[in-house]
Structure 1
Amino acid sequence: MTATLDQPTAVATGVVVRPWRAVLLRVEGQWTWYRRHWTASLLSSGLQPVLFLAAMGIGFGSQVRPGPLTGGMPYLAYVAPTILVSGLITIAVAEAGLPVLSGFKWKQDYWAVASSPVTPGQLFTAELVWITLRLVLGSVLYLVVTTLVGGWTSAGALLVAPIAILTGAACATPVMAFAATTKGDGHAFAAVNRFVVMPMTLFAGTFFPVDRLPVVVRPLAWISPLWHGNELARGVALGGLRLWPAVGHLAVLVGLLVFGLVLGRRCFRRRLVV
């Protein structure tokens, strides 16, 4: 009993974790889980764009002849860049939705992390970095498979992956902010996929030019981040990308990324600091 009473009492050290050290600690924890359970998330780790390419680029594409619609290119080469962009957006939104809400509501590990020297803002940044790493993994797998089936026609295809990753990350940040403010069971994310992600995939220039749409609905495609990512990806892969349109597309994607980053850090702090 005396020995127990004589033990030193734990006191706060006052140590503050450096921002990127805190981010890396959280990412390390995510990686530790992922390397043990990666087979459970194989589809969301990169197979989804590959399967979509096989269905639309190779399967359906075999029935489409090169022509003015595809710029004289085989349909596989025409859709290969944009399928990667749309596929990474789907993965990013899925990873930024229910898994983030779970950190607050079901697993509640965010509360444990926020009780450590890691701040809510650093936690948000770490989750974004982890989602981005997942997108990198998926894009590398996609690039390899698409190369094997002859989907790339120029060295510009090497720039498709960074563009797709940027587009996916830009879409992930506002969804993460929304997840941080969600109090229910996450049914709203099904609506996001049904009424935002899926229409973007179908009508934002992934499979055919936007100018084939009715005039009244074209602005809806133009304001979507997927259209900007598609234009950049197809432009670098097939050629014909002009400077100022490219700058405009990049400005939209970077602006959305920064906006979501600022909003998400604020939403994480409001929910975790009580």
Structure 2
Amino acid sequence: MSVTRSERKVPKFGARYILEARIRGMMKFFWVIVAVAILNPLLYLISIGLGVGTLISNNIGPQGIDGVSYLTFIAPALLASSAIQGAMDEVVFPTMDGFKWGKVFFGMNSTPQTGADIAGGVFLGAMVRTVLSVGVYSVILYLFGAMDSPHSYLAVPIAIFAGASFGAVMLAFASYVHNEDMFFTIVGRFIVGPMFLFSGTFYPLDTLPIALQFFGWISPLWHATELGRYATYGHSISGAMIGVHILFMAVMLVVGLKIAFRQFQKRLTK
């Protein structure tokens, strides 16, 4: 006797099966992932942190920026940007593959897995990659002397939180894409680029014109960077702003996942 989808028993927390599939897929490229996680921070730290940092020190003196060395100043921003970039890659490409290129989500959906399970599994898989990247990055930053304060370890969960919040939004965004021709151009030029440049990553946000500061205010990278700098070297921010930074990223995370779960379910049941 055939069993309709409505009669199938949906497993509890079915996202774990999708997560397992994502991890198995990533294990095929394990050493590539590790190499990228190591080389990216090394190249950034050598070229920008040490190279540009030396030029800045020669021009403005040993006080650096915000009372610390340039390397220490940019370290929390680089950590958060690594998390955000990694999370974005690991939700966007699997989502495009699942709906468009390989259409694997439709096969998954023919099992008891729901659209929300699939979206949740993709998101959790992205978080596994993000935790690995941030962990490696933080160790390298520590070895370079950029994260050696007693509370600098707090920059790690802050960066992961930023990656989760942006990853959730990009998961929702990618779930609406049917034609990827302009998608990656739009994301690169109008989302990632401005966010990286105008979030106080390489210089204090308040040095920019007020019109450009707006990009930072709506960027999870700026909110995470501010919190990371507060944890790493005591960057001065008020208690109210700490709450604002956390709340902003939390809202992005919750709203992004809610929209993604709904859109996955809707698109897979058409």
Do both proteins adopt the same fold according to a TM-score greater than 0.5, normalized to the shorter chain? Answer: yes
Q: Write the distance in 2 (CA, Å) between the matches of 1:241 and 1:131.
A: 30
Equivalent in the alignment of 2:184 = 189
Alpha-carbon offset, residue 136 of structure 1: 0.3
Is 1:26 matched with 2:18?
yes
1:223-238, aligned counterparts within 5 Å? 223-238=218-233
CA contact 2:95–2:171 (8 Å) conserved in 1 = yes
Give 1:265's match in structure 2, choosing from 248, 252, 261: 261
- Superimposed CA distance per residue, residues 114-150 of structure 1 (whole angstroms, 9 cap, x where no aligned partner): 1111110111111111111111000110111111111
CA contact 2:37–2:137 (8 Å) conserved in 1 = no
Give 2:239's match in structure 1, choosing from 239, 243, 268: 243
Q: How many correspondences in the alignment?
A: 264
1:41-80, aligned counterparts within 5 Å? 41-42=33-34, 45=37, 47-65=39-57, 70-80=65-75
- Cα 1:69–1:191 change in 2 (3 A) is farther
Max radius of gyration: which structure?
1
Q: Write the distance in 2 (CA, Å) between the matches of 1:45 and 1:118.
A: 32
Q: Write the distance in 2 (CA, Å) between the matches of 1:46 and 1:23.
A: 29
Runs of 5+ in structure 2 lacking a partner?
none
Alpha-carbon offset, residue 97 of structure 1: 1.8
Q: Write the distance in 1 (CA, Å) between the matches of 2:78 and 2:65.
A: 14
Give the alignment's TM-score, normalised by structure 1.
Answer: 0.89
Equivalent in the alignment of 1:101 = 96
Alpha-carbon offset, residue 41 of structure 1: 4.1
Which secondary structure does the structure 2 equivalent of 1:198 belong to?
helix
Is 1:210 matched with 2:205?
yes
Q: Write the distance in 2 (CA, Å) between the matches of 1:186 and 1:91.
A: 22
Give 1:177's match in structure 2, choosing from 172, 177, 180: 172
Q: Write the distance in 1 (CA, Å) between the matches of 2:67 and 2:25.
A: 46
- Superimposed CA distance per residue, residues 80-127 of structure 1 (whole angstroms, 9 cap, x where no aligned partner): 111111122122222222331111111211111111111101111111
Alpha-carbon offset, residue 183 of structure 1: 0.9
Q: Write the distance in 1 (CA, Å) between the matches of 2:68 and 2:103.
A: 50
Equivalent in the alignment of 1:253 = 249
Is 1:152 matched with 2:144?
no
Paired amino acid for 1:64: I
Which secondary structure does the structure 2 equivalent of 1:64 belong to?
helix
Give runs of ≥4 in structure 1 deviating > 3 Å. Answer: 9-14, 39-47, 66-69
CA contact 2:18–2:121 (8 Å) conserved in 1 = yes
Runs of 5+ in structure 1 lacking a partner?
1-8
- Cα 1:11–1:200 change in 2 (3 A) is closer
Paired amino acid for 1:124: A
Is 1:15 matched with 2:9?
yes
Q: Write the distance in 2 (CA, Å) between the matches of 1:56 and 1:159.
A: 23
Which secondary structure does the structure 2 equivalent of 1:175 belong to?
helix
Equivalent in the alignment of 1:219 = 214
- Cα 1:68–1:211 change in 2 (3 A) is farther
Equivalent in the alignment of 1:168 = 163
Deviates more, 1:46-55 or 1:155-164: 46-55
CA contact 1:46–1:135 (8 Å) conserved in 2 = no
- Cα 1:207–1:241 change in 2 (3 A) is same
Q: Write the distance in 2 (CA, Å) between the matches of 1:112 and 1:45.
A: 32
Which secondary structure does the structure 2 equivalent of 1:184 belong to?
coil
| Percentage of matched positions with identical amino acids | 31
Q: Write the distance in 2 (CA, Å) between the matches of 1:202 and 1:52.
A: 15
CA contact 2:11–2:113 (8 Å) conserved in 1 = yes
Q: Write the distance in 2 (CA, Å) between the matches of 1:190 and 1:79.
A: 27
Q: Write the distance in 2 (CA, Å) between the matches of 1:11 and 1:266.
A: 25
Q: Write the distance in 2 (CA, Å) between the matches of 1:246 and 1:67.
A: 28
